[in-house]
Structure 1
């Protein structure tokens, strides 16, 4: 039993390390759009092509909209900022001069992406801004020891966590540098669901989730035809996370809207599908986009690990029946 626990703990740490790596890759790829030129090939930090960044941003936009739009549906809520940030420590030492020349981060927190309609967007923040201080605290005084020779997302994560903790209690006044101007911006976080999205630039696999995050590959993203299809893939993986959270709540004696889905005599994948259909509708996406998508992915991907054709057909049959039922009930589950 002890050996099994140790194996599970190692597996969990590996998952967390993988998602930390993916978050760093997303930051680097999106931030690279501001650099105009690609860094030398020997630096892995900016290795993603600029053409990939718009696809990444599209998935991030869809994921954030699903998180916000399901605040009344998912079991566990957290604080969302609606930005992806980066700092100088997120780049290898050999490209920092190039990054600094283009973006002038200093020891501040650069904003690489802002979700349309999200907390940062409503506060007036824009991609390319640099947060220099929160209240009376300059970010140049925080976690400076984490800026080391090799690229790491650790300082960025620490700064984000510190800011988010302060925003939980009250709106915060941010000192923001925008080109040659300095602005004072009031911002607070908003509530939303777990399931932050990252995009893996590798060509292996399709999509997966850990306890709090969703990942999909750039290969899969390039295959999807619309935001509605992207929403289904992301919401399906969010469904796995939310169902696990619902079971934890049930074990603690709490009820929840997901428990009726969880108790149906269907496969785990179909349960996540049904959560996804409701999540899509709640966020304003068309659940009908899911019909036929699984079969199309399976036909295109010879290495598909989602199960035999019969299993996919069963999942789609359940989805079709549920979409019809939801439509007849005015969208209610």
Structure 2
């Protein structure tokens, strides 16, 4: 299952640290052990006033940014919620023992690989290269070292991500970080969103799927399409979660109909709701048609009997896009940045 792939069985871990680093929220795990009192309070950051619909940086950060925007903008439609930080994380355990010996600039805490623009982490001033060494007064350098192993594993990063989300559910989180060699304290604000973890996985084949808890896309898909089409692909999978289509097993390429046998009705429902989801996150209503046109040109589409045809899906999405374009936006004006 995809859970095993993401949580602990990734191949070539030195190039796949983004997989769990992209996690925005996951099921709660054990809380941090009791530590000293709260860190000295810093200025309380305000929640970001809007989300930026212009992903930038690495492919992992691109997926994390789009996932964050979708999860925040469509939280009212999701069956469960979690607090999102906008952090991409790694630790020394995410690498092989050989690679660990050559790592510099990363201690035993949790390193920040990237920060989603407009997220609580961004508002707190966190940047790539920072290291988190404490949470609410509890040191992290020896935290959950039982999850480390001789081989590369993301188990400790995933456990911390879950714990951070749980901590934020009770209020802003106090982080102790190392920035440019100096320790300082920051406060991470709360930002609720859909309780779905987003990940970028390797693979040349354009692919996306969800099991209801994780939502993954392959590098082949991110290389093939632009942001609007990628946002629709991810929104389509998120729609499956919202509609209750992905409660148990993974849905391999449910958005595209490659190697999957899902019913036409579910796919059509996810197409239309996914278009609304991507619009809510600030992406073009043409994203759906862009996606299916790109997949058709790449030769990736192999339709099964249970899937609508490519032309039928593009027609339905084009009609829905025209309908949505005529509707007054129901989004709060502060949801999407306009510049």
TM-score computed with the length of structure 1 as normaliser: 0.75
Q: CA-atom RMSD, angstroms?
A: 2.8
Between Structure 1 and Structure 2, how many residues are aligned? 278
Q: Residues 204 and 82 (structure 1 numbering): CA distance in 2 closer, same or farther, change over 3 Å?
A: same
Whose relative contact order is higher, 1 or 2, with alpha carbons under 8 Å and at least 6 apart?
Answer: 2
In the alignment, structure 1 segments of 5+ residues that lack a partner are 1-13, 32-52, 249-264
Query: 1:238 aligned to 2:225?
Result: no
Q: In the alignment, which of 242, 252, 273 is matched to residue 271 of structure 2?
A: 273
Q: Would the aligned equivalents of 2:19 and 2:199 in 1 still touch at CA under 8 Å?
A: no
Q: Would the aligned equivalents of 1:281 and 1:331 in 2 still touch at CA under 8 Å?
A: no
Aligned partner of residue 72 in structure 1, secondary structure:
helix
The residue correspondences of 1:254-293 to structure 2 (distance < 5 A) are 267-293=265-291
Q: Would the aligned equivalents of 2:204 and 2:220 in 1 still touch at CA under 8 Å?
A: yes
Q: Would the aligned equivalents of 1:27 and 1:86 in 2 still touch at CA under 8 Å?
A: yes
Q: Residues 246 and 161 (structure 1 numbering): CA distance in 2 closer, same or farther, change over 3 Å?
A: closer
List 4+ stretches of structure 1 deviating above 6 A. Answer: 245-248
In terms of Rg, which structure is larger? 1
Q: Residues 28 and 227 (structure 1 numbering): CA distance in 2 closer, same or farther, change over 3 Å?
A: closer
Whole-angstrom CA distance in 1 between matches of 2:180 and 2:275: 43
In the alignment, structure 2 segments of 5+ residues that lack a partner are 22-56, 249-262, 332-339
Q: 1:95-150: per-residue Cα shift (whole Å, max 9, x none)? A: 11211x2x2x2221111121111121111111111011112211123112322211
Q: Residues 124 and 332 (structure 1 numbering): CA distance in 2 closer, same or farther, change over 3 Å?
A: closer
Aligned partner of residue 169 in structure 1, secondary structure:
coil
Aligned partner of residue 76 in structure 2, secondary structure:
coil
Q: Cα offset for 1:87?
A: 1.3
Q: Residues 221 and 306 (structure 1 numbering): CA distance in 2 closer, same or farther, change over 3 Å?
A: farther
Q: Which residue of 2 aligns with 1:324?
A: 322
Query: 1:305 aligned to 2:302?
Result: yes
Whole-angstrom CA distance in 2 between matches of 1:188 and 1:144: 27
Q: 1:251-309: per-residue Cα shift (whole Å, max 9, x none)? A: xxxxxxxxxxxxxx9621111111111111111111123225313312312x5334479
The residue correspondences of 1:29-178 to structure 2 (distance < 5 A) are 54-99=58-103, 101=104, 103=105, 105-178=106-179
